[in-house]
A and B are shown apart, each in its own frame.
Chain A
Amino acid sequence: MKTTDRSKRRVRWTAIGGTALMGVGAAVAIGANPFPHSDRPKDADVVALEKREKALATEATRVNALNAERWASYRVQLASRNKEIAAVRAANAQALASASTASYGGYSSGGSSGGSSGGYASAPAATYVPAAPVASSGSS
């Protein structure tokens, strides 16, 4: 009786061990991926989409490069234009200042509405002058 019980327990444990071993074996087999995906033929739509994605990425890179190049060129032109504008303004300001110093006293009586000498800021915007007109301010 005792022998039979022991025998039955051994068979049970052997079955449990065998089952566990098979489970581990199956897991290892699945993890090893013996039948890789690439072997299967891809869906044509997926292939087309991947191709399109690649083309768009290439195009985006090209457009970004072009944009960067144009911005750089624009910045150079802008800096150059700003330089020209600053030069013209400086020249005009200098001419105005020089003229104010040189000729202002000769034109006005230096009354209360303006200074009697000196720089541009003190010269009135308008005074009577002894000169031939270049234009006329008729009624608008």
Chain B
Amino acid sequence: MSTATEGIAAGATGAAGAARTDHALLRHAFRAMGTDVLLVLDAADDHASRQALRDAEAEMRRIEAVASRFNPSSELSLLNAAGEAEVSADLLRLITLALAMRDATGGRFDPTVHEAVVSAGYDRSLDRLPADAGAAGPAMPAGGDVQVDLRTGRVTLSQGTCLDLGGIAKGWTADRLADDLGMHGPCLVSLGGDIAVRGLMTGEPWPVEVMHAADPRVIGLRRGGMATSGTDRRRWTRDGVQMHHVIDPITGLPSDTDLLRVTVVADDAATAEAWATALLVSGSEQGAREAISRGLAAVLVTRDGRVVTTGSLADGEA
């Protein structure tokens, strides 16, 4: 697995107007959790900063070993296989967060979609999926019961329920790595669609590219997290039918609304990820209403190329 670290002199002027020649935008790129990871740290280009980037990569690989559903020996896979287990503090936090977001989104984000995702054909990492492996399985509505005992850390899944923490695990990991890196300076952590920032990049918001209909736009992210959920990525074919990974928990099938892609900005990347998925499966009309009522800054792109923006992104583009 390739890893690359590079430093680019910031050459920018700080917020207070003072030149910060000792600082650089250190970029550390690698692949993990089935996605391209980019860590950007605005700090002195020294051993401590580079070590912090390496530590963040190691931490990410550790979390992946806990929460990956594709690794049969991961803690999550063992829980799914056994139906109940006393889990580590990390997995307990992830599961309780995912269940809290299931409640908050009224079940439109649900970690118990595992069986539906597998039934749709996404039963191994995307790069190992066969080109076309026959018809997909039946619809598997989510909403399985998950009992969590916070005192003992015991998680019990109801019969036939398995957990898929993929999206929210990426958001949570982005938040966690940003917290760690933030101790060394302003930083951005990007795990594919999930982005978390801490502090400002040389005194300015972090510019992040977001695809609208066909053209990219740049959003300045000042704090918290951003996530994009879409049906245009992570696609595969079953019996000639195009499938994708965003499952509607109610129907138990890949989402089939008028939305192609949703980007949400929230206080943290995990929350943004859950809401991006929830709005996507809601459709443009209900999704936009929901985003506005909750004060979420969001970009909703429909399949026919319309773009709906809400919150602080609704007032025009630069």
Which A residues are closer than 8 A to B by beta carbons? 85, 88, 92, 95-96, 98-100, 102-103, 107-114, 123-140
Contacts and interface: CB of A to CB of B under 8 A. Distances in A.
Interface string B175-215: 00000001100101011111100111101111111110000
Interface in B217-241: 217-224, 226-234
Nearest to B33: A140
Contact of A124 (B207, B311, B316): B311
Interface residues of B, number: 68
A99 B315 contact: no
Contacts of B205: 107, 126-127, 129
Contacts of B210: 136-137
Interface in B98-157: none
Nearest to A107: B220
Given A95-B15, A99-B204, A131-B218, A113 B318 contact: no
Nearest to B227: A140
Contacts of B199: 92, 95-96
Interface of B: 14-16, 25, 35, 38, 40, 167, 170-171, 182-183, 186, 188, 190-195, 198-201, 203-211, 216-224, 226-234, 261, 263, 265-267, 273, 276, 295, 297, 311-318
A109 B316 contact: yes
The 5 closest A-B pairs by CB, nearest first: A140-B193, A124-B312, A139-B230, A111-B315, A129-B220
A125 B193 contact: no
Contact of A140 (B16, B182, B191, B314): B191
Contacts of A108: 312, 315-316
A111 B16 CA distance: 26
Given A103-B204, A127-B219, A140-B229, A113 B209 contact: no
B199 to A, nearest CB: 5
A107 B203 CA distance: 13
Given A95-B203, A111-B315, A137 B209 contact: yes
A113 B206 contact: no
A33 to B, nearest CB: 61
Given A125-B265, A138-B193, 16 more contacts: A85-B183, A92-B182, A95-B200, A99-B204, A113-B295, A123-B222, A125-B223, A125-B297, A127-B315, A127-B318, A128-B317, A134-B188, A137-B193, A137-B263, A139-B231, A139-B233
Contacts of B206: 134-135
Contacts of A100: 222
Given A136-B209, A137-B208, A129 B224 contact: no
Residue of B194, B204, B231 with highest tally of chain A CB at under 10 A = B204
Residue of A98, A125, A129 with highest tally of chain B CB at under 10 A = A125
B309 to A, nearest CB: 9
Contact of B209 (A85, A99, A135): A135
A111 B315 CA distance: 6
A124 B226 CA distance: 13
Contact of A133 (B204, B218, B267): B218
B297 A126 contact: yes
A91 to B, nearest CB: 9
Contact of B192 (A95, A112, A139): A139
Contacts of A113: 295, 297, 311-315
Contacts of B193: 137-140
B220 A128 contact: yes
A99 B220 CA distance: 13
9 contacts: A99-B204, A127-B220, A128-B316, A133-B208, A133-B216, A134-B201, A135-B40, A137-B226, A140-B276
Given A95-B199, A129-B218, A133-B209, A112 B40 contact: no
A110 B223 CA distance: 18
